[in-house]
Amino acid sequence: MIATQKRNQLSFEFYHIPDNVRFCNDVSDKECGTCNFSTYDHCVGFIFPDPNYEILFHQDAYHKVCLKDYERLHPGTIEKIKHY
């Protein structure tokens, strides 16, 4: 499902971040600091490109998401990305 995130972005942009999955920036430091996934790839294998960054700086960048949220919706993701 396509979800529009409420943050500074160009009006025509839509991110393919699943509903109920937070960006890393939206997770409190306390919650993130106690998470067992803190050392894993929060870009989830580079599947969430950031078009704003590419437009502004002509370089690829990727959104980081909360792995706890993403794993809840997509069980097995953590096992797949452990080795990145």
In this predicted model, what pLDDT tens digit does every residue of 26-80 receive, in sequence order? 999 999 889 888 888 888 888 888 888 877 888 888 889 999 999 999 898 888 8
Q: CB of 61 within 8 A of CB of 54?
A: yes
- pTM (2 d.p.): 0.70
Q: What is the CA radius of gyration of the chain?
A: 13
Q: List the chain domain ranges.
A: 1-84
